A and B are shown apart, each in its own frame.
Chain A
């Protein structure tokens, strides 16, 4: 029996800061950064937004896009590396605010940038086994980079929710299979109580991102007997623009295949939302029958690969919620001072 996506919803805060405005504060060369990172601007949360409010907005968009009864959702899992509480789940807030309570299981997931896709896999298992009717998996973050750290140029805010089900008539995309590749790799971490993450620096790209994305992607294609040219679109985790472009080339995907899902130049890295946002942007324009190959990456480290085929139903529900393109359009640009206020970098009394 098939399992897959019956709806999806995305959310991006309306504020952006340009790389130039961050570079000016630290005396860095904006042009070198922009061409190196392939990021021009990043999304910044409002002063009253956090990973929970972003998860709720994405989840509500997913519920209203499909028009399902939220009470059918039997699991809510929110993946994030910026859960507002250290202890107290984000997922209960999401469940209450989407009207799925009280008969459901809920938990928060953590796996750096791939916590959301790990939640998708858990929902696939629960739905396939018949334990639940529908499951909701969310990736949402308001990521922080320490002031002056390289991560500050890309760490952004946004979230995406997927509702997973297995009723043929409800599926907008069938997930044919998923494959994960995981090892213990210290490329990025944040200790309890610390406001900003630490990372192993530039050299961690190879043993972290590239090894695990390639491991998961090749593993899935080998398992399914598919090749890059069997897919219409491809999405890879987007910590910057450079990594997904390089890994897609290495795997044999073309620039045309990744372009629709490559949202990072105008959005920044939304961490748990990153690959899921790329898939959402691709679903926003894919046609029935199109195939999408996607691989998320989480530091620590692991890759989750998915092979997806879009169904006829996509056309019926696509326009019932904001597209990623609509969420990226008409942002409000803010300067570094206001950005610092939004991110709580300035403490007022």
Chain B
């Protein structure tokens, strides 16, 4: 990923900032500038998600993509946030610990890096929410 492309999405990735349509109370992550339901009548505003949600589905990755080799095995899942939207993220837990319906909360982690010399990418991942 290019530095400018990551940087534009940085706030959204760091703090789970998406958008919300005030008209129909639909939430969007990643952020949308137009409500697909209300179209031109929609009223979009920024919204910071709490990051609490649950696991919809998951897979355990044993053969990782470039840059993730030393993280295997790791869990990749689809998280449904309490406010509605779903997103794909790494879930940080032992592979035998993850379950569909498991409650999760957000943590701040390294997402990757562009080799030894390049930028380090940070953002949100999820961990089991035990309380």
| Pairing of A with B | yes
Inter-chain contact A50/B110, CB cutoff 8 Å: yes
**Residue interface mask B88-129, A partner, CB < 8 A = 1:** 000010100000000000011111000000001010010000
Known: A53-B122, A96-B14. A349 touches B69 (CB 8 A): yes
CA distance A349 to B72 in the complex (A): 14
Inter-chain contact A348/B110, CB cutoff 8 Å: no
Instruction: Assess whether A99 is interfacial by the CB under 8 Å rule.
Output: yes
**Residue interface mask A329-349, B partner, CB < 8 A = 1:** 000100000000100101011
Instruction: Assess whether A203 is interfacial by the CB under 8 Å rule.
Output: no
Pick the 9 closest A-B CB pairs, nearest first.
A348-B69, A56-B108, A48-B110, A48-B109, A97-B14, A348-B70, A47-B71, A53-B108, A53-B109
A residues in contact with B110, CB < 8 Å: 48-50, 53
Known: A48-B125, A52-B122. A60 touches B14 (CB 8 A): no
Number of A residues, CB within 8 Å of B? 22
Known: A48-B110, A57-B107, A60-B108. A97 touches B122 (CB 8 A): yes
Known: A93-B122, A96-B10, A97-B15. A47 touches B108 (CB 8 A): no
B residues in contact with A53, CB < 8 Å: 107-110, 122
| B114 CB, nearest partner CB in chain A, Å | 13
A residues in contact with B11, CB < 8 Å: 96
Instruction: Assess whether A26 is interfacial by the CB under 8 Å rule.
Output: no
Inter-chain contact A346/B122, CB cutoff 8 Å: no
Residue of B nearest to A342 (CB): B70
* B120: contacting residue among A47, A85, A341, A346, CB under 8 A: A85
* B108: contacting residue among A57, A85, A344, A348, CB under 8 A: A57
**Residue interface mask A96-126, B partner, CB < 8 A = 1:** 1101000000000000000000000000000
B residues in contact with A56, CB < 8 Å: 108, 122
- Of the four ranges (under 10, 10 to 19, 20 to 34, 35 or more), the interface on chain B belongs to 10 to 19
In the complex, how many residue pairs between chain A and chain B have their CB atoms under 8 Å apart?
46
CA distance A47 to B111 in the complex (A): 10
**Residue interface mask B16-29, A partner, CB < 8 A = 1:** 00000000000000
CA distance A60 to B16 in the complex (A): 14
| A349 CB, nearest partner CB in chain B, Å | 6
B residues whose Cβ falls under 8 Å from a Cβ of A: 10-11, 14-15, 48, 69-71, 92, 94, 107-111, 120, 122, 125
| B124 CB, nearest partner CB in chain A, Å | 9
Inter-chain contact A346/B15, CB cutoff 8 Å: no
B residues in contact with A341, CB < 8 Å: 70
A residues whose Cβ falls under 8 Å from a Cβ of B: 46-50, 52-53, 56-57, 60, 84-85, 93, 96-97, 99, 332, 341, 344, 346, 348-349
B residues in contact with A85, CB < 8 Å: 120
Inter-chain contact A46/B109, CB cutoff 8 Å: yes
| A90 CB, nearest partner CB in chain B, Å | 10
Residue of B nearest to A322 (CB): B131
Inter-chain contact A47/B70, CB cutoff 8 Å: yes
CA distance A50 to B48 in the complex (A): 25
Residue of B nearest to A98 (CB): B15
Inter-chain contact A99/B15, CB cutoff 8 Å: yes
A residues in contact with B107, CB < 8 Å: 53, 57
Inter-chain contact B70/A97, CB cutoff 8 Å: no
CA distance A84 to B107 in the complex (A): 18
CA distance A20 to B20 in the complex (A): 53
CA distance A97 to B48 in the complex (A): 12
- 16 sample A-B contacts, Cβ–Cβ < 8 Å, listed by A number: A47-B71, A48-B71, A48-B125, A49-B110, A53-B108, A56-B108, A56-B122, A57-B107, A84-B120, A93-B122, A96-B10, A96-B11, A96-B15, A99-B15, A346-B70, A349-B69
B residues in contact with A57, CB < 8 Å: 107-108
Residue of A nearest to B107 (CB): A57
Which of A53, A60, A85, A341 counts the most B-chain CB atoms under 10 A from its CB? A53
CA distance A99 to B108 in the complex (A): 13
Residue of A nearest to B10 (CB): A96
Residue of A nearest to B74 (CB): A47
Residue of B nearest to A57 (CB): B108
CA distance A47 to B74 in the complex (A): 11
